[in-house]
């Protein structure tokens, strides 16, 4: 595929619902390619129905700086209704270590603002982290068990 922006849409057959997976792989080992952003929008429920977005860093390039965002309220500016009122973002590494953020300005405010990727709404969540090569999972849930439409975004900063 040529460099650019792409969208994958996953929908249930005949309007069916359930849990689905979309995966993107870069299989060209002899060509420099750099996936810089991935995002997932969907319904955020409770328990096993939270929104999950995974990513893998590696390729021998060492550590990567990423910003992971969990959005809800700001989606209304795009006409989305029934949004997640107060997103809580949890980033988990392959060893089970967790970083949690609820209300992005409460932690790492200056670092997140410096990336230009600060969430538009104070109730939204963001985590700025430098990670070694490995597998990571971003989990979006609602504060106090809240539910609604949410968006998880993962940006490679450097």
Domain locations in the chain? 36-156
Name the token pair of 123.
């109730």
Name the token pair of 80.
């989305």
Name the token pair of 132.
């070694």
Contact 154, 138 (CB under 8 A): yes
Between CA 103 and CA 126 the distance in angstroms is 8
Q: pTM of the full predicted structure?
A: 0.84
**Alpha carbon separation from 85 to 20, 63, 66, 72, 129 (Å, rounded):** 23, 33, 24, 6, 24
Assigned CATH for 36-156: 2.60.120.380
pLDDT value for 13: 77
Q: Which residues of the chain have pLDDT under 50?
A: none
pLDDT value for 44: 95
């Amino acid at each position: 595929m040529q460099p650019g922006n792409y969208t994958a849409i996953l929908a249930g057959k005949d309007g069916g619902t359930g849990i689905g997976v979309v995966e993107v792989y870069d299989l060209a080992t002899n060509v420099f390619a750099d996936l810089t952003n991935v995002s997932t929008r969907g319904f955020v429920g409770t328990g096993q129905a939270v929104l999950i977005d995974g990513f893998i860093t590696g390729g021998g390039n060492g550590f990567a700086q990423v910003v992971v965002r969990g959005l809800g309220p700001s989606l209304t500016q795009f006409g989305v209704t029934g949004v997640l009122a107060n997103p809580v973002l949890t980033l988990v590494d392959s060893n089970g270590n967790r970083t949690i953020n609820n209300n992005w300005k409460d932690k790492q405010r200056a670092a997140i603002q410096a990336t230009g990727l600060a969430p538009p709404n104070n109730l939204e969540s963001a985590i700025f982290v430098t990670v070694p090569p490995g597998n990571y999972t971003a989990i979006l849930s609602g504060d106090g068990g809240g539910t609604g439409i949410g968006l998880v975004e993962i940006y490679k900063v450097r």
